[in-house]
Homo-oligomer: A and B are copies of this chain.
């Protein structure tokens, strides 16, 4: 056995920031907006050159030899220079993100909708990746051939050199070809993050924010369809893609174009990870143009949940371990075990997430923390974060737990927070989501050039694109057909085409692919996934507005008018009743009468709804406000049980009724408050993905007129 060691050093970069700023200041021009744009362009150039500069400086350094007498100092120096290198690497990313932000502003300023910020971040990542790979000189690391004998790979290693002890931590296994790379390309390795960073640091805020900003009204209205797409659809997609890819690799093996092993489980794994959609671009455009709320809800809900399903599904597939040898044969026991793991992990994560949300709701309900917004916000943040850690510590999946925690927090805890804390928490997670998302997409662009074990195989790539396309179609169309049998508010075919088109891949696919790139199969999957993400984000994302126009999907829909709008087909109104009567009404009643009074300050008081035997418990749990506040001023799901005809919904003393035209006849001031609250509540919570909130003016959406049905 041999122990090889190597190391490299870096010199210190000199900041050119101040010098470049002077360049910027001496420019002269006229007109504010023109000046701003020109300044911006210059700033972009400045920042890119700064990135290059830092990269060059950080990379250009000769390797050093040390004598044993200077060993102590050299170890400290090595640690210090390693730290400086890490700072420089992170700085490159910060500058990338800053560039992205400035360019986003420029795009918004010019109302440029064909390139969304995630696509833009990828482009910048690509540019920097090219620079780092082909422009920056890279030092060759020294390798010390040594001899060492160990029985197995310990987690921590103690090296005893001349009486001094040095501690080493196990990073992980390195494949043979990567060993050679390690010795060559130090710079590229340094800008490569440990894949677990994505799952432990970057994805949780994104997923939590998705759950926290779920547009509850329309989500719950379409809950059945969303669950169908997310669960059944993802599994269908996974297996269809897996089968198609298996056919593809079999063909490749037959033609001798396959460079390594690629088993059926690998195909299924690929199917699972590429089934996770991330239509952040599309949703942002939908939000901006105010596209039909049901379409938005379906797409958003599906993407949010199928991320969770894809994560657990891929873990279950990886856990498929038949007894005995490693030949990936079919074995019923192993299959059942995988299935059990899927169900176990998903439900465990779900429970933990919901449990933490419930605990937070109770804490915020029973304490007067709302008087201290800082404490309240801090507590909220900590408890949400603890969900992730708790799930990970228990062996479940943290991102799934935070998703359901976010949904629970939005549904219950949010109502207990003070208004300032509501704003603060929303803004905090909005910011974290924005930063994390753009970071991941920048990194995606960078990885195309910095990852050193790419396997680009044309047949596989073509096969993958076809499989993804077919898989998406097999997900959307059959399920829509089935769902439309049950739905009255049918999912129209243009919606289906839009959903088909909007199957963008993004952060989750990338993170799942990069998690393990040890084998040939995984490397090929990773390289192909990158291309899939690039294509869908740039082409499908960029073509969204055209697609909307092409499919004649109406825009400029005011989500608040949805309820009072007259429907062309009276039966659609009844559909809401039908649908809400079956799935939603059960949930709504339970939630409205029991869960909300327990976890928030809303009524009806538990003392009236619970049986007398639970009297003391009911009194303990019921908030004083629940007795006063019989009007559900903040309950913005209640409108879902409004039906046509002579229905009425009683809120204490106020009667709110609708007639067949859908117009509201309000019984008083409170009903107007109710409407305002409902409108306000939804409008605030419609955020998903990034904020493309343009200041609204009259020249807004160019599609509004001819697309309105």
Contacts and interface: CB of A to CB of B under 8 A. Distances in A.
Instruction: Work out how many copies of this chain go into the complex.
Output: 2
Given A17-B390, A691-B372, A158 B173 contact: no
Interface residues of A, number: 140
A159 B153 contact: yes
A382 B1 contact: no
A543 B510 CA distance: 55
A367 B36 contact: yes
Contact of A168 (B68, B169, B624): B169
Interface in A1-59: 1-8, 12-15, 17-18, 21, 24-29, 32-33, 35-36, 39-40, 43, 54, 58
A669 interface: no
Q: Is the interface of A mostly helix, strand, loop or mixed?
A: helix
Interface in A96-112: 97-98, 101-102, 104-105, 108-109
B35 A620 contact: yes
Contacts of A83: 196, 392
Given A5-B154, A13-B393, A13-B394, A167 B167 contact: no
Contacts of A616: 28
A395 interface: yes
A398 B86 CA distance: 13
Interface string A156-168: 1111111011111
A598 B596 CA distance: 54
A119 B39 CA distance: 49
B359 A17 contact: yes
A171 B160 CA distance: 14
A425 B393 CA distance: 33
Interface in A254-290: none
A82 interface: yes
Interface stretch (A244-252, A373-381, A630-638): A373-381
Contacts of A71: 152-153
Contacts of A150: 3, 5, 144, 146, 148, 159, 161
A685 interface: no
Nearest to A355: B18
A2 B624 CA distance: 70
A151 B71 CA distance: 10
A371 interface: yes
B393 A101 contact: no
Nearest to A366: B39
A3 B157 contact: yes
A90 interface: yes
Given A102-B379, A155-B78, A693 B372 contact: yes
Contact of A68 (B152, B390, B617): B152
- What 3 pairs across the A-B complex have the smallest Cβ distances? A5-B154, A168-B168, A7-B155
